[in-house]
Amino acid sequence: MNADMSFISLFSQASFIVQLVMAALLLASIISWVFIFQKSRMLSRARRDADRFEDTFWSGGNLRDLYSTLQEKNTTLRGMERIFEAGFSEFTRHIRNRNAAERVVDSSHRVMRVTLSRELDDLETNLNFLATVGSTSPYVGLFGTVWGIMNAFRGLANVQQATLSMVAPGIAEALIATAMGLVAAIPAVIAYNRFSRQVERMVNRYENFMEEFSALIQRQVFTKEE
């Protein structure tokens, strides 16, 4: 009589600990894929927004008009738009108060740096989860495999003659935990490495824009003082 070696059968016949391990790995894999799709859309949108804003910013238009336009949609500002809005708001406040040029530049740059830090936090959302799944899932699966193999051999303790047909189902249900660990870990590791590089490139773009905008502010305030 052939043993049923399907996944459902192996899962149902496994011990409670192995079932718990496989269920946890399956849940981690599902959540990872949800985060992967969300992060992919988020980073694509961030690149599009940055391209569109840079085109507008460097088109030669009036920055006050651009600032007013952004103020109208303040609740939806993201990325480069938010950095510009924060820096220009601080710049206009100091200009209105007739503060010293050095203070205007330093304060505007500091506000943009804080805003950049917040944007970085948004871009890195859920990356830690992917890193954790990628690094721990193989070990969790291995734990399930070791536990399952122990149970399989423990079941042979009272058998005088062990055969392959008696051992195979227990070994198979144990090894499937390792397979599920790898299924959860591999996409998470690939996604984490890919998204980390993309986040780094986006942050570099934000930092470059921030430095360029700070240089514009510096030229403007020192020109006014002269």
Alpha carbons 192 and 58: distance in angstroms, whole number = 33
* Count of beta carbons in the 10 Å neighbourhood of residue 44: 11
* Short-list 85, 94, 65, CA closest to 210: 85
Pick from 6-10, 12-16, 175-179: least confident: 6-10
Residue 165 is predicted with a pLDDT of 62
More confident residue, 3 or 56: 56
Burial class, 43, CB count within 10 angstroms (exposed 0-12 / middle 13-18 / buried 19+): middle
pLDDT of amino acid 9: 65
Instruction: Give the model confidence (pLDDT) of 32-57 as tens digits.
Output: 999 999 999 999 999 999 999 999 88
Name the residue with tokens 């399930």.
Answer: 144
Residue 2: band (very low, low, confident or very high) from pLDDT cuts 50, 70, 90:
very low
Among 80-89, 111-120, 159-168, 177-186, which is the least confidently predicted range?
A: 159-168
Across residues 61-84, what is the average pLDDT?
82
Distance CA 182, CA 184 (A): 5
Q: Give the pLDDT of residue 40.
A: 94
Q: Between 5 and 198, whose confidence is greater?
A: 198
Q: Rounded CA gap, 199 and 97, in Å?
A: 37
Spatial CB neighbours of 113, under 8 Å, sequence gap ≥ 6: 210
Q: In the chain, what percentage of residues exceed pLDDT 90?
A: 39
Is residue 18 a contact partner of residue 147, using CB atoms and an 8 Å limit? yes
Give me the percent of the chain exceeding a pLDDT of 70: 82
Q: pLDDT at position 1, please?
A: 39
Q: What is the pLDDT of residues 124-136, one digit of tens each?
A: 999 999 999 999 9
- In Å, how far are 73, 164, 172, 216, 221 from 161, measured between CA atoms? 76, 10, 20, 84, 91
Distance CA 94, CA 109 (A): 12
Q: Is 106 exposed, middle or buried (0-12, 13-18, 19+ CB in 10 A)?
A: middle
- Measuring CA to CA, how many Å separate 180 from each of 40, 142, 186? 24, 10, 10
